Structure formats: C-alpha cells, structure tokens
Amino acid sequence: MARISCENRHKRVRVDIPLMKKAALAASGLLGLKEDTGINIIFVSSQMIRSYNQKYLGKDSATDVIAFGDAGRDTESDIVISSDRARANAKAYGTTLRSEMALYVIHGILHFAGYRDGSPPEISKMRKAEKEILEEAGIKKI
C-alpha cells in the first residue's frame, strides 16, 4: 500500500485525519498502488483550492478535489480537498462531513489509478468504484 500523509490547513473545519488515512489506504490497497508511492492529502478552504485550480489548471473556480501527479508512476502525488465544499455538499446530499471528505480522498486516488469523470460513462464508472471502496472500508454509514 502507498504511504499516506494528511494535513489540515483549514483553520475552521475539523478533519478526522485517522479516517482519511483509512480511506486512502483502503483505496490504494484495492487499486494496487505501489508501496513506494507517497500520497499527500491536504485539506484547504474554498479560496485556497480556487487558487490552486486557477494556477495549475487554468480554471477560475473553486472545486471539491484536485489530484496532482500520478500515483502509479510518481513517487509523490498530492490530493487537495476543499473542506468548505465538503461541508456544503454533506449538507446538500444528507451525508456526514466525515464521509464526504473520505469520498473526496477516494475520488482523488481513483484519478491516480486512471479513472476519469469527464463523460457520463466515466462518471458512472467512477461512482461505482467510489461506492465499492467506501463500503469495503466501512465508511459509507459514518
């Protein structure tokens, strides 16, 4: 399994770091990522993720998750997650903040494994994999 580090850079939203590591380890294990792969998970504000999105992807908007690198090939890859977006979406979708954040962690790792979400068939495949990993990790109902 990959080496996982998590950091909360958002001062107003609490992150369950052990749970996020559990989600990341479950995803990396089920997807067969290399053991020497490092995945850094960073939780930030909507303003900060908007800045990342603009600087690195040329998109002037906030988003929920940005995955940098390729955990299948790179030795270090980063997942940047908007804690503000997770909180808003948890409320909108009737989930918990913890499970929404875990979903974003898994979503980022799926991108490293080659999953994409640019078309309806890709989105369907991504959602199915997210659900399977959440259930395998026992995170779906938290």
The backbone torsions φ and ψ at residue 16, rounded to the nearest 5 degrees and listed phi first, read -80, 85
Which residue carries 């504000």 as its tokens? 45
Is residue 71 in some structural domain? yes
SS (HEC) of 70-137:
CCCCCCEEEEEEEHHHHHHHHHHHCCCHHHHHHHHHHHHHHHHCCCCCCCHHHHHHHHHHHHHHHHHC
Of residues 33 and 72, more confidently modeled: 33
Whether the predicted model's global pTM rises above the 0.85 cut: yes
Is residue 19 in some structural domain? yes
Is residue 142 in some structural domain? no
C-alpha dist (Å) from residue 21 to 61, 62, 93: 27, 24, 23
89: containing domain: 3-136
Average pLDDT over residues 45-54: 97
Number of domains in the chain: 1
Q: What is the pLDDT of residues 57-90, one digit of tens each?
A: 999 999 999 998 876 666 788 999 999 999 999 9
